[in-house]
Amino acid sequence: PSVSIVWKLQNKSDKQANNPERKSSRTNKSRDFSSNELSRTRIKNRFETMTNPVLAAELSLRSFYIFNSAFGPKEGEEEKKVLYYHPQDTDIDTKIKDVGLSEAIIKFSNTFTKDDSVQTMHTQKTCQFYYQPEPGYWMIMTLNVPFERKTRDSGDYNEYHGDTIHDTIFQSVLRQSYRMFRMFHGTFQDNLRPSEELDAPANLIGTLEAFYQSYILHLQMKKCDVVDAFGSVQYLPLNQLLFLRVQNFINMIEATFAPIKHCIFLYSDQVVWSGISPTDLYTLYEYFHSPMFDHLAQSKQTRPAYVTEQGKIKRYTLMVCRKVQNITLCLLLDDGAVENEQSLYLELNAVVNPQLTSISSDISQHLQVSGESNYGFGCGGSKDDSATAPKFIFFNELNLQHRGTVRLGQQQYQSVAGSGLPNDVMNLIVDLLDDVRSNRRANVMDETIVKTHDDYWIVKRSCNSRHVFIILNKSSTLIDVTEETKKILDQHVKGIFF
């Protein structure tokens, strides 16, 4: 309608030009015309802003593939090297090209080292991680570097943020993807055997596709943090009587049911008791919190599990008793020793459910009395979840335990907006941990204090494979930081450092 009105004014202007009685009217209409023109300009600019938003891309998975060069040693057999490739709809030429480039990078790096030690390659747009879990087998994970679309005088350009991708975190994610496969299917070499319908390579390829197609679907790269670098779980501290009661319960069911060899006892997703190695425990802990577990639990109650014992991998049958209140009981059964798994499952539930109900009630009462009802994100932590509150993370490398007042892993997305740690602070904590691991000296305590450009103070103290990271978000002096650190250590980790 406004365009139509302007058009009419323009056509009537010639008739009104010689009429003195309408000069005032023409002046007012000219002002209306200018006002309409200004309004149209503003609307146009606003529309252009809406149709040309500032573009940004988050961290994402570009490709994930597994290959073995020995499977296609001759020219023309390059396709046989590719054992698994994600995305699966990628054309075969791209798969062969990516595998060939990875082989070239590995061979080039070997000219400078005596072993296959290449781990990471950074480019402007991608970051590629390498891992050789078994001789000849290579796993490659490629990430898209996050970027922002910006404008300057010469035109639009992408500003990439490669520093947000920490090598240690995502190298740990790649290694964990192999451990998860090995936990439920064994090694790659174990699966390289013929079946009734397939030859050995085809059987391995089928097993890899069946597992990783589901695993990668639920892999959320942007949620990876220091927990992935730690490879740790949370333990629930109990008093002596409650812990002995749990231990006696575990001993009772292992003695009553002969096929049961190991048990894992969880309360509200925190470990109370475990009979397997810390590394295998972390893998199972990650599995229990993944959608893969929920999907499998609907179809069957048991599945094979491969656990490391004294340097060797042994096969068990994993059975998970459903949650009784807040308790989850995981059992590792002797493989092949149970003829009727359904009968054993029902008998177990009938025996253990009444005792688990009583134990759960006592643990809940203990946590309420001791004031640790906030065990969901850190035992003995502060209830202040604000961004400026002092925070700490404790990590024990001996049993792969972490606790503290920082929400990590999936729990960081359940916190109040803005209460989590910035990505650069998370990466700095991992840098400090890497520094300790690369300069390890037994029975030597060291302390490092770092101040970031946005007034974050990070204090790291380490001794005997135990590390504490204290994070303060305020403008302070070094004396104030030292005093605050002493207060937090005395309150939460007293007796660990001498």
Residue-level pLDDT, tens digit, the chain, 498 residues: 333 333 333 344 444 444 544 444 444 444 444 455 545 555 445 444 444 455 888 899 999 999 999 999 888 889 999 999 999 999 999 999 999 999 999 999 888 877 667 899 999 999 999 999 999 999 999 999 999 988 888 888 889 999 999 999 999 999 999 999 999 999 999 999 988 888 999 999 999 999 999 999 888 888 888 999 999 999 998 999 999 999 999 999 999 998 999 999 999 889 999 999 999 999 999 998 887 776 665 556 788 999 999 889 999 999 887 677 889 899 999 987 777 888 888 888 888 888 999 999 999 999 988 766 444 444 444 455 667 788 999 999 999 999 888 877 655 544 444 447 888 999 999 999 998 888 766 567 888 999 998 889 999 998 888 999 999 988 888 999 999 999 988 888 877 765
CB 143 within 8 A of CB 60: yes
**CA dist., res. 213 & res. 228, Å (int):** 21
CB 210 within 8 A of CB 181: no
Fold (CATH) for 56-224: Beta-Lactamase (3.30.450)
User: Where are the domain boundaries for CATH 3.30.450.70 in the chain?
Assistant: 56-224
Phi, psi of 151 (to 5 degrees): -125, 140
Q: Which two tokens stand for residue 418?
A: 């803005």
CATH of 233-370, one of 3.20.20, 3.30.450, 3.40.50, 2.60.40: 3.30.450
Place of tokens 């994970």: 141
**CA dist., res. 334 & res. 260, Å (int):** 6
CA 59 to chain centre: 12
For the stretch 85-96, what's the b/e string if a residue is b when 16 or more beta carbons lie within 10 angstroms of its beta carbon? bbeeeeeeeebb
